[in-house]
Amino acid sequence: MKIIRGSVVRFRATFVDPLNVALAPTSAATRVWYLDRSGASKVDEVAMTQDGLAWVGVWDTTPAAPGEIDWTITCAGPVQGAKDGQFVLAANKSNP
Protein backbone atom coordinates (compact mmCIF):
# COMPACT_ATOMS: atom_id res chain seq x y z
CA MET A 1 0.00 0.00 0.00
CA LYS A 2 1.29 3.49 -0.84
CA ILE A 3 0.37 6.53 1.28
CA ILE A 4 1.16 10.15 0.33
CA ARG A 5 3.18 12.12 2.91
CA GLY A 6 1.00 14.67 4.69
CA SER A 7 -1.86 12.19 4.98
CA VAL A 8 -3.17 10.87 8.25
CA VAL A 9 -3.07 7.08 8.59
CA ARG A 10 -5.91 5.47 10.54
CA PHE A 11 -5.08 2.22 12.33
CA ARG A 12 -7.96 -0.06 13.36
CA ALA A 13 -7.71 -3.42 15.10
CA THR A 14 -10.09 -5.95 16.56
CA PHE A 15 -8.46 -8.67 18.62
CA VAL A 16 -9.89 -12.17 18.22
CA ASP A 17 -9.20 -15.64 19.59
CA PRO A 18 -8.34 -18.67 17.39
CA LEU A 19 -12.07 -19.22 16.77
CA ASN A 20 -12.42 -15.62 15.51
CA VAL A 21 -14.41 -14.52 18.58
CA ALA A 22 -13.77 -10.86 19.45
CA LEU A 23 -11.83 -10.29 22.67
CA ALA A 24 -11.89 -7.27 25.00
CA PRO A 25 -8.41 -6.01 25.94
CA THR A 26 -8.16 -3.14 28.43
CA SER A 27 -5.89 -1.06 26.18
CA ALA A 28 -4.21 -0.99 22.78
CA ALA A 29 -1.43 1.03 21.18
CA THR A 30 0.37 1.35 17.86
CA ARG A 31 4.12 1.86 17.47
CA VAL A 32 5.21 3.40 14.16
CA TRP A 33 8.87 3.21 13.05
CA TYR A 34 10.13 5.56 10.33
CA LEU A 35 13.02 7.77 9.23
CA ASP A 36 12.41 11.47 9.71
CA ARG A 37 13.32 14.04 7.05
CA SER A 38 16.89 14.32 8.42
CA GLY A 39 17.33 10.53 8.17
CA ALA A 40 17.11 9.85 11.91
CA SER A 41 15.26 6.72 13.05
CA LYS A 42 12.08 7.52 15.01
CA VAL A 43 9.39 5.53 16.82
CA ASP A 44 6.04 7.15 17.59
CA GLU A 45 3.58 5.73 20.12
CA VAL A 46 0.03 6.16 18.82
CA ALA A 47 -2.69 6.09 21.46
CA MET A 48 -5.75 4.08 20.50
CA THR A 49 -9.31 4.47 21.69
CA GLN A 50 -12.01 1.86 21.82
CA ASP A 51 -14.77 1.98 19.19
CA GLY A 52 -17.13 -0.88 19.98
CA LEU A 53 -14.98 -4.02 19.84
CA ALA A 54 -12.33 -2.30 17.72
CA TRP A 55 -9.44 -0.04 18.73
CA VAL A 56 -8.65 3.02 16.57
CA GLY A 57 -5.68 5.41 16.38
CA VAL A 58 -4.35 7.96 13.88
CA TRP A 59 -0.80 8.91 12.88
CA ASP A 60 0.23 12.05 10.95
CA THR A 61 2.78 11.18 8.25
CA THR A 62 4.10 14.75 7.89
CA PRO A 63 7.40 14.34 9.82
CA ALA A 64 8.42 11.15 7.99
CA ALA A 65 10.75 10.83 5.02
CA PRO A 66 9.50 8.88 2.00
CA GLY A 67 10.10 5.16 2.29
CA GLU A 68 8.99 2.07 4.15
CA ILE A 69 7.05 2.60 7.38
CA ASP A 70 6.73 -0.29 9.85
CA TRP A 71 4.02 -0.55 12.51
CA THR A 72 2.93 -2.85 15.32
CA ILE A 73 -0.41 -2.83 17.13
CA THR A 74 -0.45 -4.44 20.57
CA CYS A 75 -3.06 -4.91 23.27
CA ALA A 76 -2.85 -5.41 27.02
CA GLY A 77 -4.97 -6.55 29.93
CA PRO A 78 -6.36 -10.03 30.27
CA VAL A 79 -5.80 -10.34 26.50
CA GLN A 80 -2.35 -10.29 24.87
CA GLY A 81 -2.02 -9.85 21.14
CA ALA A 82 -0.12 -8.10 18.36
CA LYS A 83 -0.19 -7.45 14.63
CA ASP A 84 2.64 -6.13 12.45
CA GLY A 85 2.53 -4.43 9.08
CA GLN A 86 4.14 -1.91 6.78
CA PHE A 87 3.34 0.54 4.03
CA VAL A 88 5.27 2.83 1.67
CA LEU A 89 5.17 6.57 2.24
CA ALA A 90 5.50 8.52 -1.00
CA ALA A 91 6.45 12.14 -1.64
CA ASN A 92 7.93 14.08 -4.52
CA LYS A 93 9.51 17.52 -5.06
CA SER A 94 6.09 19.20 -4.81
CA ASN A 95 5.60 17.64 -1.35
CA PRO A 96 8.78 18.65 0.48
Domains of the chain: 2-90 (2.60.40.10)
Query: What is the per-residue pLDDT across 57-93, written as a single tens digit (0 to 9) for each?
Result: 999 999 999 999 999 999 998 888 899 999 999 998 8
Query: What are the b/e assignments for 31-43, b being 16+ CB within 10 Å?
Result: ebebbeeeeeeee
Query: What is the per-residue pLDDT across 25-45, written as a single tens digit (0 to 9) for each?
Result: 999 999 999 999 999 999 999
- Provide the Cα torsion 12, 18, 24, 25; round to 10°: -80
Question: Is a pLDDT exceeding 80 seen at residue 96?
Answer: no
